[in-house]
């Protein structure tokens, strides 16, 4: 069953602004991943953070993980119109490589 | 990077017919593949885990006789929606992991939009 909750459900910003998306989960994890999905397409892996890590960076992406609060955040800095997509967090709570996805955040970046 | 090819990308069929969706790992071997279902503007719901050479493991509430999964080789898994009905209309996505990889990253197909009339 789906266990992740993400907020906000939808986010609309202007180009150049930062976008922050949050994800909460319910059970213990080994890692948490963030994926991006363009409308009607498959998912693309963005970043993976392990349970013993607190923060990770990849280009304009910054992910934090707070295992005590069972939450994670994804920050996209200096957003671009091309960042418009849905973003999902996923945990390995289902077992090895068996990902459980959050509800997702639909991000719209306006030029 | 690893590529997962999913075919077809879109299919329209009549109620009562069966539809087969293929998921191929093009440049790596995948012992395990996963099948997800996604409703519009919703998250991905894991349907089943497809294991090469053995029976698929279905999630609770997913009818195994309705959604037949075959994983006959290390590069191919198929999902057959049998006797499709309009309520089966959805976006189906497969994913796979490279069995030689040490990380847990999944590679996803581009999805199949199924519309049952």
At B58-112, the pLDDT tens digits run: 999 999 999 999 988 889 999 999 999 999 999 999 999 876 665 667 889 999 9
Chain A segment 50-109 residues within 8 A of B by beta carbon are 88, 92, 94, 96-104, 106
Peptide bond into A22 cis (omega under 30): no
Given this model, what pLDDT does residue A96 score?
65
At B30-63, the pLDDT tens digits run: 888 999 999 888 889 999 998 888 889 999 999 9
Longest Cα–Cα distance of chain A, Å, equals 41
Given this model, what pLDDT does residue B54 score?
84
Residue of A nearest to B98 (CA): A97
The DSSP bridge pattern shows strands B112-116 and A19-24 to be: unpaired
Residue numbers in B near A63 (CB within 8 A): none
Burial class of residue B69 (count of CB atoms within 10 Å of its CB; 0-12, 13-18, 19+):
buried
Q: Nearest by CB to B113, which of A40, A98, A103? A: A40
Separation in Å, CA A81 to CA A38, A45, A97, A107, B114 = 12, 19, 31, 10, 29
What pLDDT band is residue A95 in, cutting at 50, 70 and 90? low
CB A18 within 8 A of CB A76: yes
Contact state of A41 with B32 under an 8 Å Cβ cutoff: no
């Amino acid at each position: 069953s789906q266990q992740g909750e993400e907020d906000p459900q939808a986010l609309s910003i202007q180009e150049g602004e930062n976008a922050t998306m949050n994800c909460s989960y319910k059970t213990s994890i080994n890692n948490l991943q963030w994926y991006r999905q363009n409308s009607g397409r498959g998912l693309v892996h963005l970043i993976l953070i392990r349970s013993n890590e607190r923060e990770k960076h990849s280009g304009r992406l910054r992910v934090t993980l707070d295992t005590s609060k069972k939450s994670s955040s994804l920050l996209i800095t200096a957003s671009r119109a091309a960042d418009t997509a849905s973003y999902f967090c996923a945990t390995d709570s289902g077992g090895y490589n068996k990902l459980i996805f959050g509800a997702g955040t639909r991000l719209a970046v306006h030029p | 990077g690893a590529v997962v090819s999913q075919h077809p990308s879109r299919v329209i069929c009549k109620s009562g017919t069966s539809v087969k969706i293929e998921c191929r790992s093009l440049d790596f071997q995948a012992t395990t593949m996963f099948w997800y279902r996604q409703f519009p503007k919703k998250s991905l719901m894991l349907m089943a885990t497809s294991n090469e050479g053995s029976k698929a493991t279905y999630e609770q509430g997913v009818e195994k006789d309705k959604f037949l999964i075959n994983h006959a080789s290390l590069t191919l898994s198929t999902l057959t929606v049998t006797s499709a009905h309009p309520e089966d209309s959805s976006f189906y996505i497969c994913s796979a992991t490279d069995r030689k990889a040490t990380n847990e990253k999944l590679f996803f197909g581009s999805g199949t939009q199924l519309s049952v009339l």
